[in-house]
Structure 1
Amino acid sequence: MSLARRKRKKLILTIITISILVLVFLFPLAYHYRIVLIRHPLVAQLVPLYRSLIKFPDLLFLPRYAFFDSQLETYKINISIKDIRRLDMALPVPFSGGELEDDNKVWVSADFKTDDYQDRVKIRYRGTIANHWNSYKKSFLVKFPKDHLFKGMRELNLVIPDDRLYFIEPLNNYRAKKLDLIVPDSSNVKVSINGVDHGVYLVFEHWTQEWLEKQPVSNNSLILGIGQSIVGTSTSSIFTPEGIVYWNSWNSDAPDLDAVKALNEIISKTDDETFKKLIPHLVSIDEILAFNVVSMLSGEFHGAGDSPSGANNTMMVFDKLIGKFRPIPYNVAISDLNNSYKEMPTSLERRILAIPEWKEDRDRLLKDYLNNNKEDDLRFIESWISKYNNDFLADQSKLSNNLTYLKDINQLKKMVKFYQDEALKHLNDKYPLIFIIKEPLNLPVNFNYLFQVALSPEQFVKQNPEFSLNDSGLVLESGFHYFFRTIIIPAKTKLTIMPGAVLVMGPKVSFVSYSPIQAIGTAVEPIKILPASLEPWGNFVVIDTGRQKNTFDRIFISTGSESTVNGIFISGTLSFHGSDVKLTNSFLENAQGDDTLNIKSAEGIVVGNTFVSNSSDAVDLDFPGSETIIENNEFFNNGGDAVDLSWSDVLIKNNIMIGSGDKGISVGERSHPIIIGNLIAKNVIGVAIKDLSTTTMDSNIIIKNKIGLAAYEKKEWFGGGQAYVKNGVLWGNENEIQKDELSKIDISNSVVRTKPVLLNWPKKIRDLIE
C-alpha cells in the first residue's frame, strides 16, 4: 500500500472516529450508548484526542495566562487508582442519562492536603444529574474526620463551576445576604487530583450540624429538604399530608418532622383567612418574600414546584429559636431567556402571595431592591470576572474551551441585566390556585397551640375567664390565679398584669404570650409566679413581639423549667424570643431548666435584678440586640454561668457574680461584649472567652476563682478567643490566666496577684468572698 493511500486511510479513520465522538458527546439521542463507548478500549484511547481537539483554540489564550500567578488556594487530593475505578464503576448505567442515587454514592478513602491541613478523608462523587460526573472533571463531596475538621467543616462540596453558571450562584447568594437570608458561604479554589491539575472548583460547606452551628439559628434546629433518593420518583406534592414522606433532615438521623406535618396541613387544608392567621407563626413570611425576590431577579424558580423532582433544591431550616421555617436559597440559577418565569413557585409561596398585603410587601421589596442594588449587582459581576477570569482561562479541565467560556460569561451578563428590567413586568403573574383539601386540620400535638395564637381577644377571654378585656387589651387583675393548663395569649393584643397578681402554676404548665406584656409590680405588691407544688412548672415566655417593649418590674419567679410550645424549644424559666424586654428590680430563684432568663434575637435591658440558686445558667443571651445591657445585677450560687453569651455584642456592667458552678461570664460563639466594673468571685472560671469571641474588659475585679481568665477554642469549627484587659484586679485565683495556642489575653494597667481592697463593697458581699 502506498504511503499516500495509508495517510488517506488514516485521515478517513480519524475523521470517522472524531465524528463518532462528537455524536456521542454532543447529541442527547446518543447518550444511551456513551457509557459503552467510553469503556471500550479503542474509544478510551481516543478520548484524550477529542479533548485536545476541542481545547485547541485555548492556545490563542496561552500568552494571557502562561505567566499568571493564581491567588486561589489549592486542595491536593490523592485517590488510589483502585478507588477511582470503584467510584467510576458505581456510576449509573448509562451514566450520561441516569441520576446519582443512594446506591451510586460510594465512599472511598483519600489524602487531602492544603497549606495548613493534611489528613485522611472520605470522598465520593456528588450531584444528582449526570453533568456532575460524566466528564473528565467531576464534582465531589469530601468528609473530614470528626476529630480533625477542616476550617471547622465536617463535609465540603467541590462543584464544577459551570453547573452553577460561574458567577450566577455567587451573585444570587450575594443578593440573598443583602436581603438578610441564610445562605451558604462559597468561594473558588483550585484542585489537583493525584498531582494533575483539575482547575477551578466552587467550594462550600455541606449541610451538617457543624454548618448549622455557624448560622444565626438555634443549634437544635433542623436542616430540611427533599431526600435525594426519591427525587424524580413521584409527581405528587411535597406540601400535602402525604408529602411528608419526601422530606429529610441533613443534621439528624431520626428527625422529628412534626413541623413539616403542621406546615403541610396548613398549606393544603386551610382557607385564605385561616392560612393568614396561622402561617406567620410557623413560617418567616419576610424571608419567604425575600427568597421570592431573589428568584424573580433570575427569571426562574430553580428547585421550585411541588413534586419531589421539581423541589429537589428546596432547602429550609426549622429554627427552634423562633419556631419558624426559614428558607435557604440554594443553587438559584438563572433562566434561559426563552423559558423565563415558566416554573411555578412552590405552593407555600403561592399561598403567601395570594394574600394581598403580603404580595404588596413582596412587590415593594423587589422595587426597593432594584432601586438600591441594581448597579451594585453589576459591580459584583465585574469584580468576580476581574478576580477569577484568568484562573478559568487557565483551567484546562473544564468541559468547554475558552472561546465557549467567554461567550457563556458574556451571555450570562446580558441575562442578569435582562432580568433586572424584566422582573417588574411579572409582579402580577397569575399562578394556578392551590387545591384545598376539604378535611379538618390535624396538627401534631406540639403544634396544637397554633389555633390559640390566632384567637381574637374576645374569643380568648371567653375561653379564659381569669382575664378581662379593656380598651388597651387583656388584663390579669391582682390576686391569686391558678393555672393547671398552658395559657396562650394570642397575637395582636396586649396583656397587662396588675400589681399584686400571683400566678400559681401547675406542673409543666407554661404561660406563653404572642403579644407584648406589661407586668409592673410595686415594693408592697410585687407580681409573683410560683409553683403549685414541689414539681417545677414550665416557662413564662413572650414570643415574636419584635420591637414592642415588654416591661417587667418587681417580679418574683420561682421553680420554673423548660418546655416546647409550637415547635419552639424554650430553655429559660423567663424567656423572650424575638421580643424586646426590660427586666428590672426582680428576683429569680430555683429555675430547673437550662436557663433562668433567656433572651433570643431580641434586645434586653436587664438592670437591678437578683438571681439565686438556679440550677444552671442565670442569664443566657443568644443573638441579642446590640443595645442589650446587663447592669447592677447580683448573681449568687447559680449552678451554671452567671451570664452566658452567644453571638452577643452587649454591655455587662457593675454586676456581682459569686459562686457560679461554671463561669462568671461565658463569652462564646463570635461574641464581642464590653465588660466593665464587675466583681467576679468564687466561680469555677471568672471569665471565659472562646470560639472567635473578643472582649474588652475594664475595671473588673476577678478574685478567688479556680481560673481567673480563660481563653480557648471550645468548638473546632470556630477558633480561639481574645481578651483585652485593663485597669482590673486579678488576684487569688488558683490559676490567674489560662489560654490555648489559638487565643490571646492582653493585660495592661492592672493589678495581678495583689490582694484588692474591698471596703467599698457591702458587708454581705465581703463576707461571701472572704
Structure 2
Amino acid sequence: MLIQQKTIQDFRRKKRWLTGIFCLVVILLVTTHLLLLFQKSAKRSEYFSVQKSNVEAFVDWSASVLTPIDKVYLDIGFKQLEKIKQVRQHAIDFGINVEQDNDYVNATLRHHNTSIPVKIRLKGVLPDHFKNDKWSFRVKTKGDHAFKGMKFFNIQAPETRGYQLEPVFLHFLKREDLLTVRYDFIDLYINGKRIGVMALEEHFAKQLLEHQQRKENPIFKFDASRMFQVLNTNSFASFSSWHTNPLTPFQASTIEKKPELQEQVSIARKIMLDLQYGAISPSEAINVESFAKLFALSYIWSAYHHLQWKDLRFYFDPFTHRFEPAVYDVNPETVFLTLPKDTITGNSIINYFLSDPIIYWTCMKYIKAFSQFSYLAQAIEEMSALETDYLFKLYRDYAMLPRWNYTYLLQRAKKLQNIEELRFYQPTKNPIAPSALAEEVPQPYDFDFIDILHTSRDLFTFVNPLAQDVRVDGVYDKNHHPLELAPFEIKKNGLVNKVYHGPEPIASVDATIIANQHTRNIAVTDYPLQLSIPLKQEQYPTFVVQNANEVRIPTGTYVVEDHIRVGCNKRLYIEKGVTLYMSPHIQIFACGPIIIHGTKNEPVYITSKKGYWGGLYVTGSKTKSELQHVHFKHVGVYGDRRLTGALTFYHTTVDLDDVYIQDVESEDAINIVRSDFVIGRLTVQNTASDGVDIDFSEGHINFLDFAKIGGDSFDVSGSKITVDHLLSKGSQDKAISIGEASHVQMHEADVENTAIAVASKDASFLSISSLMYQDIHYFPVMAYQKKPEYASGGEVHIQKMTTFQKMADCDPVSKVYINDKKMRCKNQATFKNYLDYVESL
C-alpha cells in the first residue's frame, strides 16, 4: 500500500514537472514569436510620437487573435509559382520590377466556401514589394467572378503603404467625395502556408467608379515607360517629368472593345497634351474643387507621396471633360512637419496647377475650412474608431504598432488657420522645362517618343518631347506615297501645328534628329475631329436680354441656329409662352441654373422643325434649376461628351413639374446623375431607348407617365427614391428596373405591354404597395444578380398584386415577397435566361 502511494506521488510530481516544462516552452515560443513581431514593427514605431511597452504589445497581440479577419488562400501551381520566382529574382538582380502583362499566371483564390479562378503576377516597382517574404501581387478575377466587389486588386505587405495610416487617410479623403480605392487587411495563405497579415488594395477599374458613384470612363496615369527606357542615359532628366510622358489608360484591353471609351481616351490625351504644352490653363483641364480639396487635405496631413507625377491617377469625367484625382498610395507622414519645412518644390505638376490663381485660392479656401477645430474633431472621432479596427487586425504580425497621435494634427491645423500663403510649392510660369535639365549630347533616342497627331480634317500637330531638335523631311499617305509638304524643324520640347490641304491625309512622316542624323518613319495618330467647347465660354443668341447675373428669353417665338452656353455665374430664365425652334444638333449648355416657368395656359415649347436638336445639359450648378410646364420634342444628344440623356442634369439640384418630352432619339429621354431632385408630373412618350434614367441620386417623384418606350421606362442605379405613382404603357424592355444597390419605395404602379413589369438586381431593394399589370411578355416580377461584384441579387416586396401564371421568379441570391409571402424561386428568371429570351425575339 505504501509503495503504491509513493508511486502515485512520484507520478504526480513528474506530471507537475512535465507540465511546468511544457508551459515554459510555450512561454518561450510565444515570447520569441512576439520579439520577432516587435522587431519587425520596431523600425516603423520610431516615427510615431507615442511608443509602446512590450506589455502593451503583448496585450494587443492577445486581443488581435480574437479579432475577426478574412482568411484568403491562394493556390498556385508549381510551374506558375516558379515563373513568379523567376520574375522576382530578375527584379532583385535589376533593382526594380518592370511590370508586364505576360507575367500573369493562373491561380485559385479561396475565401470561406468559395473558389475563384484568378490570374496573378508580382507587382510593385521598388524592392519593398518583392525583397522580403511578403511579396506583392496584382490579382484579377476571371470571367463573372469577383472578390469583395472587386475584379482587380493588389495584395501587399502593410508596410508598403504605411500600415493602418493608409486606409484611415483614404477614408478621410472619401468623406469629401474624392475618388479613392477600397482598402482592408486580410490573413493570407499561399499553398497552405501562412504568409501573414497583408493589405488588400483595390486597383483601378470600372467597379471602383461604380462603387463611388461615377460613370464608367477611363482612368489614366502618366506612362513612365519612356523614363525607364532611358534610365541610365543622360537623357533621363528630359523624361523624368510629367511634361514629356503621355497619358495611358488602365484596363486598355476593355477600352479597345468599346468605341465610346476609345473616343474618350483620345479626347483626354488631347486635353492633357494641351495642358502640358501650355495651350490651356490647369483650371480648364481639371476639376478645380476636387484637386483643391486633395491639395488642402494633403497639406494639412503632410501627405505628399501621391502627388508625385508618377503616382497621380486621373479619372476623366465624361460629363465635364475635366480630370478628377483618383487617389491611392497616399502614405501620410506620421510626424507632422513644421510649416517652414513643408516643401515639394521639386513637384513641377503640383507647382504648375497651383500657379493657376483659380486653383490656388480654392485650395486656400479649403485649407481654412478643413483646419477648423470643429471639422477636425468630428473627423478624428471617426478615424480613431477606424484605426482601432485596422490595428487589431495588424497586431497579429505587428504588435508594436502604436496608435496615431492626433495632437500633432490639431496643433498643425491651428497654425494653418493663420496661413497667408502656401509654402509647399513654387510658382511655375512655363510648364515646359525639362530641356533645361538635359545635356546637349546626341543620344540614340527612341523615335516612338515623337507624336504626330491628326487633330482635325486639315490640321496636324507635331510634338517633340526630346531634348534635341528634330527635322521633318518627308510626309506620306497610307500607301507610303510621298505628299507635298516642305521640310520643317520642331525645336526640342516643342510643338508645331501644320495645315495640310491635300487629296489624302498624312499617314506617316520621316523624322530626323538633327544632332546625330538618325532617321525613322513615324505613323500619325488620329485624334477627335472637334473637341467640346469649355462651358465657361458663354454664347447667346441676339434675342436674349442680359444683365450681370441673368440671361432672359422673353415671351415670343425664336429660331435658334447656334448653341446656347450659359456661364456658371449666371442663370438662364425662360419666360412663359416661349417657343424655341432649335436647329439640328444645336444644344443648350449651362453650368448655372435654368429656370423655365411656363404655365398651364402658356407653356414653353422647345422643339425642332427639322431633325433632332441636341438636348439640354445642366452641370455643377449649386443653385436649383426649375422646369415647369415645358414641352420638349424632337430631341436627341450629340457631341463628344458621353451624355446619354436628351435632358441631362449632372451634380446639381433640379425640380421638374408638368414636363413633357416626346420623340426622343437619345439613349435616355432624361438622365439625372449625382443630383437631388423633385419631380411633380413627368410624361415621356415615343423614345428610341430608355425613358427616365436616374444614377447615384436621391429624390421624390409624384407621377410618372410613360408610353411607347424603346427600352426601360424607369431605370434606377445606385439611388434612393420614393415614387407615388407610375404608369407605363408599352416598353420594349422593363417598365421598372432597379439596380446597383438602389433603394426605391413606390406606392402604386400600373404596367401593361412590356417584357418585364418589375426587376430588381444587384443588392437593390424595391417596395411597391400596389402593382397592377397586364400583357406581360416574359415575367411580371424578377429579382436576380447581374454583376458579380455585388454579393447579392435583388429584393422585391409587393404588398398587393394581381396574380396569374408565371407571377414571379428569382435566382438563388435574390428574394421576392408578394402579399407578405416569400416566393419560392425556381431560378428560371435569371439575367442570362432573359438575354436568351431577348435574342430569340
TM-score, shorter chain, exceeding 0.5: yes
> 1:650 is matched by which residue type in structure 2?
I
| 1:549 and 2:624 are equivalent in the alignment | yes
Aligned-pair CA distance for 1:353: 6.7
In 1, the alpha carbon distance for the partners of 2:354 and 2:683 equals 49
- Residue by residue over 1:184-221, the C-alpha shift from the partner in whole angstroms, topping out at 9 and shown as x without a partner, is 221111111122110011112221223333221112x2
Counterpart secondary structure, 1:82: helix
Structure 1's 67 and 227: CA in aligned 2 closer, same or farther, altered over 3 A?
closer
Amino acid in the other structure paired with 1:552:
L
Residue 445 of structure 2 corresponds to residue 372 of structure 1 = no
The one of 354, 358, 361 aligned to 2:365: 361
For residue 140 of structure 1, report the CA deviation from its aligned partner: 0.8
In structure 2, do the counterparts of structure 1 residues 522 and 239 end up closer, same or farther at CA, with 3 Å as the change threshold?
A: farther
Partners of 2:407 and 2:730 in 1: CA distance: 62
Indicate conservation of the 8 Å contact 2:296/2:363, yes or no.
no
- Give yes or no for contact 1:77–1:192 (8 Å, CA) kept in 2: yes
| CA–CA distance in structure 2, aligned partners of residues 205 and 143 of structure 1 | 10
Change in CA separation of 1:731 and 1:681 when aligned onto 2, cut-off 3 Å: farther
- For the 8 Å contact 2:151–2:207, the answer to whether it is kept is yes
Query: Quick one: structure 1 residues 230 and 146, their matched pair in 2 at CA, closer, same or farther if it must change by over 3 Å?
Result: farther
Identical aligned residues as a percent: 21
Match for residue 572 of structure 2? 495
Give 1:226's aligned residue: 222
Offset, 1:129: 0.7
Structure 2: gaps of 5 or more residues: 1-31, 41-53, 257-261, 433-493, 498-526, 824-841
**Number of the residue aligned with 2:785:** 713
Distance 1:650 1:119 in 2: 35
Residues 483/84 of structure 1: CA separation in 2 closer, same or farther (3 Å cut): same
Q: Is the 8 A contact 1:128 1:228 kept in 2?
A: no
Contact 2:301 2:409 in 1 (8 A): yes
Q: Does 1:738 align with 2:738?
A: no
Q: Report if aligned partners of 1:146, 1:154 keep a CA contact under 8 Å in 2.
A: no
Q: Which residue of 2 aligns with 1:330?
A: 328
Does 2:791 match 1:688?
no
Q: CA deviation at 1:544?
A: 1.6
Give the equivalent residue in structure 2 for 1:413: 404
Q: 1:381 aligns with which of 356, 380, 387?
A: 387
Once the two structures are TM-superposed, the CA of residue 693 in structure 1 deviates from its matched residue by 0.5
Q: Say whether residues 1:580 and 2:580 are aligned partners.
A: no
Residues 573-615 of structure 1: per-residue CA shift (max 9 Å, x gap): 1221223222222321110111111111222222223211111
1:300 touches 1:343 (CA, 8 Å); kept in 2?
A: no
Give 1:249's aligned residue.
250
- The question of whether the paired residues in 1 share the 8 Å contact of 2:246 and 2:269 is answered with no
Deviation at 1:230, TM superposition (A): 4.4
1:403-441 deviation line (CA, Å, top 9, x unaligned): xxx1xx23x735x64344335546434321113369999
Structure 1 equivalent of residue 637 of structure 2: 562
| Pair 473,84 (structure 1): closer, same or farther in 2 beyond 3 Å | same
CA distance in 2, matches of 1:103, 1:357: 41
What is the letter of the counterpart of residue 478 of structure 1? T
Alpha carbons 1:516, 1:550 under 8 Å: kept: yes
Helix, strand or coil: the match of 2:290?
helix
CA deviations over 1:650-683 (Å, ceiling 9, x no partner): 1111221111111111111111011112212222
- Shifted more, 150-159 versus 99-108: the winner is 99-108
Rounded Cα–Cα distance in structure 2 between residues aligned with 1:389 and 1:749:
45
1:81 aligns to what? 78
Aligned to 1:98: 95
Does the 8 A contact of 1:269 with 1:441 survive in 2?
A: no
1:684 is aligned with what amino acid? A
For residue 656 of structure 1, what is the aligned residue in structure 2?
Answer: 727
In 1, Cα distance between the equivalents of 2:599 and 2:334?
67
Q: Which residue of 2 aligns with 1:513?
A: 590
User: Which residue among 149, 156, 161 is the counterpart of 2:158?
Assistant: 161
Where do residues 58-137 of structure 1 align in structure 2 (5 Å cutoff)?
68-69=65-66, 71-91=68-88, 93=90, 95=92, 98-103=95-100, 106-137=103-134
Report the alpha carbon displacement of residue 228 of structure 1 after superposing the two structures with TM.
5.3
Alignment-mate amino acid for residue 575 of structure 1 = T
Structure 2 residue 426 is matched with structure 1 residue 432: yes
CA pair 544-354 structure 1, distance change in 2 beyond 3 A: closer
What SS does the aligned partner of 1:645 have? strand
Q: Structure 1 pair 425/322, CA: closer, same or farther in 2 (3 Å)?
A: same
Q: Report deviation, 1:265.
A: 3.1
Inter-partner Cα distance in structure 1 for 2:87 and 2:587: 54
Aligned mates of 1:684, 1:53 — CA distance in 2 = 63
Aligned-partner SS, 2:776: coil
Q: Which string of whole-angstrom CA distances, capped at 9 and with x for unpartnered residues, describes residues 370-428 of structure 1?
A: 3433454344434432x2244225xxxxxxxx6xxx1xx23x735x6434433554643
Q: Counterpart in 2 of 1:320?
A: 318
Q: Distance in 2 between matches of 1:115 and 1:549?
A: 48
For each residue in 1:326-356, what CA deviation from the matched residue of structure 2 results, as whole angstroms up to 9, or x when unmatched? 2222111133759763434624652357756
* One-letter amino acid of the counterpart of residue 418, structure 1: Y
State the Cα deviation string for residues 698-755 of structure 1 (Å, max 9, x = none): 12323332322111111121230111221x22345x5211211111112236999xxx
- 2:533 equivalent among 443, 449, 452: 449
Q: Distance in 2 between matches of 1:129 and 1:619?
A: 49
Aligned residue for 1:698, secondary structure, equals: strand
1:300 matches 2:290:
no
The letter for the 1-side match of 2:68 is Q
- Write 1 or 2 for the structure with the bigger share of strand: 2
The letter for the 2-side match of 1:537 is W
2:743 is matched with which residue?
672
Work out whether residues 527 and 554 of structure 1, in 8 Å CA contact, stay in contact via their aligned partners in 2: yes
Tell me the distance in 1 between the aligned counterparts of 2:211 and 2:123. Answer: 23
1:94-139 C-alpha deviation (Å, 9 max, x unpaired): 6166222135961122232221321432211111111101122201
- What is the rounded CA distance, in whole Å, between the counterparts of 2:240 and 2:553 in structure 1? 43
CA distance in 1, matches of 2:544, 2:336: 60
Quote the residue 2:469 is aligned against. Answer: none
1:289 counterpart residue number: 292
Q: TM-score normalised to the size of structure 2? A: 0.71
Counterpart AA for 1:360: M
Match of 1:261 among 266, 270, 277: 270
Unaligned stretches of 5+ residues in structure 1: 1-50, 306-310, 394-401, 753-770
Is 2:288 the partner of 1:217?
Answer: no
Summarize the alignment of residues 586-735 of structure 1 with structure 2, pairs less than 5 Å apart. Answer: 586-625=659-698, 628-706=699-777, 707-718=779-790, 719-726=792-799, 728-732=800-804, 735=806
CA contact (8 A) 1:268 1:434 kept: no
Mapped partners of 1:56, 1:170: distance in 2 = 22
Q: TM (normalized to structure 1)?
A: 0.78
Q: Distance in 1 between matches of 2:281 and 2:201?
A: 36
2:744/2:766 contact within 8 Å kept = yes
The answer on whether the counterparts of 1:729 and 1:751 sit within 8 Å (CA) in structure 2 is: no
How big is the alpha-carbon RMSD for the aligned residues of Structure 1 and Structure 2? Answer: 3.5
Contact 1:557 1:589 in 2 (8 A): yes
